[in-house]
């Protein structure tokens, strides 16, 4: 009796799995090893292309890493960092204030501008890497009179004025200029007031324009503008 030959149908998936087990970079349970993927054309496990890793090479290198096994490190911003090759070359000129590879390095203080050729003559806090000293006046070593603080944004509080707010106004707030102090008055003082900016009261017993009048009453009853506040001419009392 002739012996029958038996044929076993092997599915494509089983065939592939069987081929994978013959490769040095396969795992009998999950297929290709970590860091490898299955090449269906070559029927073998191959290492991930640069920039990818993990099982079946599905994990992209996180910024700033790149290359084989994500071992490289980009020293440029994320937009310029290619996961496979690293920093993309820049052919254009760097912006003012920046230089170096991929233009990410700021000009060191006190330099600024294109190719860091400018030099700031102000403090580091107000030296802009692109434009130089951030100043509102022509001087670069001190604030303009009447202003203090970083970038000179704080106005001298009343009654101070001038450089570093060291001056003191002896006039009212309306007449106190933050830069120059008390503004001069060109008109005559009101009766009862004299001196710079008319802030000084006539001393007792004087009163009136330029303090020419004289009170003959008590200090409490002597008005600096009008004189004695009485109903009679004399201020010593009414006699009956």
Domain boundaries, the chain: 12-47, 96-134, 141-183, 187-240
pTM flag (> 0.75): no
Q: Could you read off the pLDDT of 125-143 as tens digits, one per residue?
A: 888 888 888 764 444 445 6
Which pLDDT band holds residue 223 (cuts at 50, 70, 90)? very high
For residue 104 the two structure tokens come to 């990410």
Distance from C-alpha of 61 to C-alpha of 65, rounded to nearest angstrom:
6
8 Å CB contact between 105 and 87:
no
The dihedrals phi and psi of 155, each to the nearest 5 degrees, come to -85, 140
Q: What is the mean pLDDT of the chain?
A: 77
Output DSSP code: residue 19.
Answer: H
pLDDT at residue 186 greater than cutoff 80: no
pLDDT of residue 151: 65
Q: Is the pLDDT of residue 14 over 50?
A: no
């Amino acid at each position: 009796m002739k012996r029958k030959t038996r044929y076993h149908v092997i599915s494509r998936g089983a065939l592939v799995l069987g081929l994978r087990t013959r490769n040095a970079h396969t795992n009998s349970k999950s297929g290709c090893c970590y860091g490898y993927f299955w090449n269906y054309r070559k029927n073998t496990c191959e290492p991930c292309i640069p920039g990818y890793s993990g099982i079946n090479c599905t994990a992209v290198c996180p910024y700033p890493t790149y290359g084989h096994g994500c071992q490289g490190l980009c020293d440029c911003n994320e937009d310029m960092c290619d996961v496979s090759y690293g920093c993309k070359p820049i052919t254009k000129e760097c912006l003012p204030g920046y230089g170096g590879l991929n233009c990410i390095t700021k000009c060191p203080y006190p330099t600024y501008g294109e190719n860091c050729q400018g030099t700031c003559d102000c403090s580091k806090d107000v030296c802009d890497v692109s434009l130089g000293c951030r100043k509102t006046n022509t001087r670069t070593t001190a604030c303009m009179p009447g202003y203090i603080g970083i970038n000179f944004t704080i106005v001298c509080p009343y009654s101070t004025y001038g450089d570093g707010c060291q001056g003191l106004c002896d006039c009212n707030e309306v007449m106190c200029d933050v830069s120059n102090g008390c503004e001069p008055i060109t008109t005559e003082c009101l009766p009862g007031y004299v001196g710079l900016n008319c802030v000084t009261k006539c001393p007792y017993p004087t009163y009136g324009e330029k303090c020419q009048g004289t009170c003959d009453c008590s200090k409490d009853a002597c008005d600096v503008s009008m004189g004695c506040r009485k109903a009679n001419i004399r201020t010593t009392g009414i006699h009956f």
